[in-house]
């Protein structure tokens, strides 16, 4: 059963990291208008 939780935990970490990255990039892009990457 431990073999099932290992990839699942890794997947959750990747998803959370992606969400944090997007939120951080959005907050950073909103603060500094020098970013030419506006989405």
DSSP 34: T
Structure confidence at residue 2 (pLDDT): 67
Given a cut of 70, the residues of the chain with pLDDT beneath it are: 1-2, 31-39
Structure confidence at residue 6 (pLDDT): 87
Report helix, strand and coil shares of the chain as percent, to nearest 5: 75, 0, 25
Structure confidence at residue 12 (pLDDT): 97
Structure confidence at residue 24 (pLDDT): 92
Structure confidence at residue 37 (pLDDT): 58
* b (16+ CB within 10 A) / e for 6-37: eeeeeeeeeeeeeeeeeeeeeeeeeeeeeeee
């Amino acid at each position: 059963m431990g073999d099932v939780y290992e990839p699942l935990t890794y997947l959750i970490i990747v998803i959370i990291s992606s969400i944090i990255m997007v939120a951080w990039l959005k907050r950073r892009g909103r603060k500094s208008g020098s970013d030419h990457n506006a989405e």
